[in-house]
Amino acid sequence: MNFRQLAYGLLSYVPGAADALVGATGGTCSADYCYCVWLRHLVLARTGGMSGFPAVVAELGPGDSIGVGLAALISGAERYVALDAVPHARASRNLQIFDELVHLFRMRAPIPGLDRFPEMLIGLPSLDFPRDVLTDAHMERALAPERIAWLRQVVAGAVTSPCLEYHAPWNQVEERHAGSVDFLLSNAVMEHVNDLADAYRAVCRWLRPQGHASHQIDFRSHGLFAAWDGHWACPDWLWALFVGRRPYLLNREPLSTHLRLSEAAGLELGKLVTVTRAPVSRRLARRFRNLSPEDRVTCGAYLLARRA
Ligand SMILES: C[S@@+](CC[C@H](N)C(=O)[O-])C[C@H]1O[C@@H](n2cnc3c(N)ncnc32)[C@H](O)[C@@H]1O
């Protein structure tokens, strides 16, 4: 058990402390990571049936920077909307990541693999730059010097443009985006969302008909316990102390809950890739004792769903 995290949960009851205890989220502070996330979601979504390149991209939970969305814009998206629960992203970091991303796209750098970012969990058929969708002609238009210079000004805040929006929290703004998004992605986010049913309904509302939602979900215990499935062995009373009054931690829901809620929201499953691992915790907390055999071993998943 991670006692430091338990202490954070307890400290969060101190008035005013809960928000201060939300630290850095990790990955999206590096351009390589953002490049990797964007291209992985794009490649996986294409193998799941998404055709063409999405013009309007939204992201749930971008974290420390909006670098994944910047990768989408640099590679040709017309509009990106970032929707986080907590305003983690910093403008100065975004600009540095933007410049590094432009360089990666100009080089048509390969997609970093699991050796570089093992937390991505799911392997790709090829790590080559996806020239089938990001063709030379497409990338030439996307990387045109005047377009990149203009985007850079938008990222720096020197120019305001509807092509880039950041909302944290997002619950006040959702209706404006209803039916407008071609591609919504989340990476290592859905396992943190408190009200999952509401989030999947919002995803469905934001998407245009036939638009795609692409989620990578990590079902492991995120270092709260030594065992990858230790959070499922934690009794509810102790779990409540871990969470405390933090804005989010883990919702502990298994894969089947995500599939059910996504479908109930009006999304059709297009592709599902799961990563399994042998259970480690011997005795689960009561509410997890009836996990299905599939849920019990699923430590990660990629799911692509389409608005019907
Ligand atoms: C582990 S970080 C992942 C950040 C980034 N996507 C990445 O790949 O590194 C989890 C993110 O989920 C966000 N999050 C938690 N609850 C959320 C919610 N209800 N809606 C949107 N984002 C949420 C957090 O604020 C944080 O940015």
CA distances, 288 to each of 129, 139, 143, 222 (Å): 41, 48, 49, 18
| Sign of the alpha-carbon dihedral angle for 141, 208, 181, 103 | negative
Residues 6+ apart with CB under 8 A from 100: 31, 32
Per DSSP, the residues of 261-278 read: HHHHTTEEEEEEEEEE--
How many helices (H) does the chain have, and how many strands (E)? Answer: 11, 7
Tens digit of each residue's pLDDT (9 = 90 or more) over 272-306: 999 999 999 999 999 999 999 999 999 999 999 99
Mutation to probe ligand 1, out of 41, 170, 248, 302 (largest number of atoms < 8 A from CB): 248
Ligand 1 centre to CA of 88 (Å) is 9
When the candidates are 2.30.30.90, 3.40.605.10, 3.40.50.970, 3.40.50.150, the CATH number that belongs to 3-307 is 3.40.50.150
Tens digit of each residue's pLDDT (9 = 90 or more) over 98-137: 999 999 999 999 999 999 999 999 999 899 999 999 999 9
Average pLDDT, the chain: 93
Ligand 1 pocket member 248 (CB < 6 A): yes
Poorest-confidence range of 81-85, 173-177, 292-296?
A: 173-177
Ligand 1 centre to CA of 132 (Å) is 30
Ligand 1 pocket member 62 (CB < 6 A): yes
Using only C-alpha atoms, the chain has a radius of gyration, in whole angstroms, of 19
The band of 18, judged by pLDDT with boundaries at 50, 70 and 90, is low
Q: How far apart are the first and last CA of the chain?
A: 43
* 113 neighbors 33 (Cβ within 8 angstroms): no
Residues 6+ apart with CB under 8 A from 147: 141
